[in-house]
Structure 1
Amino acid sequence: MHKTNKLIIFALAVLICGSIYYMSDYMPDYRPESMTEMPDAGTTDAELQNGKNDTALQESQPELIYVYVCGSVNEPGVYEVREGSRVHELIALAGGFAEDAYTLSVSMAKTVTDGQTLYVPHLDEAEDDVAGSRLSGSVTGDDDIYGQKTKININTASVEQLMTLKGIGESRARDIVDYRTRNGSFKKTEDVMKVSGIKEAAYSKIKDDICVK
């Protein structure tokens, strides 16, 4: 009986060793998820804090936006600025006002938005009425000094000015200019629908922003 017990104990020991060997060779390596997120042993508290600060700084930085500056500026073009930038910053990037710029129409402190067209009118675009304080056929994306939105005169507006209208790209703006050149001035705003490519849906988007004079 004593000899039998020894054999049983020996068999159990062999079975346990075999199980351990099998598990070490065939079971996948397992580490708790929390261990994979542990910092390296050489990482100091200061380095960890700096990493957190860098992440917070990146998240707090304003996004980049793009604004098209044109009209009476020295260097018209598309400029990349931080969200929340002001009109005066864009004018400076565009080389400042040209000599013939009608500066009174531009709200220098206003915040610009992504995709905005910032048009600076020329002096000869100022109307004679109201002491030249309002514009005819031009738009800057701002309200005039009386708090009313200036409208684009489709009979005199340039291609650049027409491009500030919703849904009007360069090709469609040139079509408007070509149409009035061939057929004469528009009699009413609805006449713009006579231009190829401008139907009722397109007109409904711009009707409140245009005029004829």
Structure 2
Amino acid sequence: MDGKRSKLAVGLLIALAVAGTGLYSWWQKSTMVTAAQIIGPVSSESMVKNDKVMVYISGGINRPGVYEVQSGLRVLDVVNLAGGVTPNADANRINMAQAVKDGLHVSVPVVMAGSQSENPSGSNNERISINKASKSELDKLPGIGPAIAERIIEYRQTNGAFKELDELKKVPGIGESKFKKLVSKITL
């Protein structure tokens, strides 16, 4: 008889488990709340107020592509999000302060290797990136020696990448006159 009782007890437990699962499932369905009940109906007006915009960035950029960004950001923010400009990019030819809008295409121009400058000597017009250049590259700039090159690198490490060329004047040893000599030879 003990064998029959244990089989009966196991069968009763299985039946209770099946009944409990069915009851729990029914209870869950009856208390389920849909998203529409929480947020209400979606109108076309509420869809227009989306805070995100799509921006396409290409050209002299490290990670070109389409980016979904917060509306109200600037081109500079998208450039930074895309990994910054490449060393051969001419970032001075785009408006970094422009507010982004949905569908904007930012094309960062690229200076071709071996391109000639507009000066009669025909020397190479490749600009040096103050955000990426090494100490030896910065040292090649007019009026920048090893000490000031080191200060530029220290400034970058402390404050992050330069956001505009004028910010270079915050580096000790670079005043207005030295900056004027550099501005045509540097880029971000």
TM-score (norm 2): 0.37
Higher relative contact order (CA 8 A, sep 6+): 2
Greater C-alpha Rg: 1
